[in-house]
Amino acid sequence: LLTHHPTVRTAVATHNIRSIAAAIALAEEKGLGADQFEFQMLYGMASGLHQAIPALGYCLRVYVPFGEPVPGMAYLVRRLLENSSGQSLLVTADADALKATLASAPPLPSESIRDSSQGRGANPGLVCENPKLPPFENQPLHRFTDQREHQAMRTAIEQLKQDLGAYYPLRINGDALETEDFIESLNPANREQVIGRAGLADVKHAELAVAGAREAFRSWSILSASERAAILIRTAGLLRDRRDRWAALEILEAGKTWTEADANINEAIDFLEFYAREALRLDSPDGLDIPGEHNLYRYSPLGVGVVIPPWNFPLAILTGMLSAALVSGNTVILKPSSQTPVIAAQFVNLLSEAGLPDGVVQFLPGPGSSLGQYLVEHRDTHFVVFTGSEAVGTKLIESAARRRSGQTHVKRVIAEMGGKNAIIVDSDAELDETVHGIVRSAFGYQGQKCSACSRLIIVGKQYRTLLARLADASRSLNIGNPEDPAVNFGPVIEYAAMERIRAAIREGRKSAKLEVAVEVPADAPGFFVGPALFSDVPRESGLFREEIFGPVLSVLPADNLDQALDLANDCSYALTGGFYSRSPFNIERVKREFQVGNLYINRGITGALVARQPFGGFRMSGVGSKAGGRSYLAQFMNQKTLTENTLRRGFAPPSGTD
User: Which residues are designated catalytic?
Assistant: 416, 450
Is 489 one of the binding residues for ligand NAD (CB under 6 A)? Answer: no
Site for ligand NAD in 415-434 (CB under 6 A): 416-419
Judged by beta carbon, residue 214 or residue 395, the one nearer ligand NAD is 395
Which residue of 233, 318, 376, 459 would you call a contact of ligand NAD, by CB under 6 A? 376
d(C-alpha 424, C-alpha 84), whole Å? 34
Q: Least Å distance between CB 512 and ligand NAD? A: 22
Which residue of 250, 270, 483, 547 would you call a contact of ligand NAD, by CB under 6 A? 547
E runs forming strands in 525-646: 532-535, 552-558, 573-574, 576-580, 598-601, 618-619, 622-623, 637-645
Q: Least Å distance between CB 199 and ligand NAD? A: 15
Query: Nearest CA to 551 among 507, 596, 489?
Result: 489
Judged by beta carbon, residue 270 or residue 416, the one nearer ligand NAD is 416
Is 363 one of the binding residues for ligand NAD (CB under 6 A)? Answer: no
Look up residue 652 and give its DSSP letter.
Answer: P
Judged by beta carbon, residue 417 or residue 555, the one nearer ligand NAD is 417
Is 381 one of the binding residues for ligand NAD (CB under 6 A)? Answer: no
| Strand 331-334 versus strand 532-535 pairing type | unpaired
Contact 314, 254 (CB under 8 A): yes
Judged by beta carbon, residue 169 or residue 309, the one nearer ligand NAD is 309
User: What would the x/- binding string for ligand NAD be over residues 319 to 338, using CB under 6 A?
Assistant: ------------------xx
d(C-alpha 332, C-alpha 308), whole Å? 10
Only segment of 30-38, 219-227, 238-246, 307-315 that touches ligand NAD (CB under 6 A)? 307-315
Which residue of 170, 324, 392, 543 would you call a contact of ligand NAD, by CB under 6 A? 392
Give the helix ranges, DSSP H, for 124-202: 147-162
E runs forming strands in 401-443: 412-416, 421-425
Contact 154, 282 (CB under 8 A): no
Site for ligand NAD in 559-578 (CB under 6 A): 575
Is 278 one of the binding residues for ligand NAD (CB under 6 A)? Answer: no
Say if residue 6 is preceded by a cis peptide, omega within 30 of 0.
yes
Look up residue 268 and give its DSSP letter.
Answer: H
Side chain identity at residue 160, one-letter code: L
Q: How far is CA 612 from the centre of its chain?
A: 10
Is 508 one of the binding residues for ligand NAD (CB under 6 A)? Answer: no
For 391, the 3-state DSSP assignment is helix
Count of CB atoms situated within 10 Å of the CB of 110:
8
Q: Least Å distance between CB 444 and ligand NAD? A: 13
Which residue of 334, 396, 414, 529 would you call a contact of ligand NAD, by CB under 6 A? 396
User: Strand order in 166-168's β-sheet?
Assistant: 166-168, 190-199, 182-187
d(C-alpha 577, C-alpha 596), whole Å? 6
Question: What are the contacts of 514-517 at 24+ separation with CB within 8 A?
Answer: 515/467, 515/471, 515/555, 516/471, 516/474, 516/475
Is 263 one of the binding residues for ligand NAD (CB under 6 A)? Answer: no
Q: Least Å distance between CB 310 and ligand NAD? A: 3
Is 586 one of the binding residues for ligand NAD (CB under 6 A)? Answer: no
d(C-alpha 632, C-alpha 385), whole Å? 12
Judged by beta carbon, residue 220 or residue 271, the one nearer ligand NAD is 271
Is 53 one of the binding residues for ligand NAD (CB under 6 A)? Answer: no
Is 598 one of the binding residues for ligand NAD (CB under 6 A)? Answer: no
Only segment of 86-94, 306-314, 563-571, 636-644 that touches ligand NAD (CB under 6 A)? 306-314
Q: Least Å distance between CB 66 and ligand NAD? A: 46
Residues within the interface to ligand NAD (CB under 6 A):
308-312, 317, 337-338, 368-369, 372-373, 376, 387-389, 392, 395-396, 416-419, 450, 547, 549, 575, 621-622
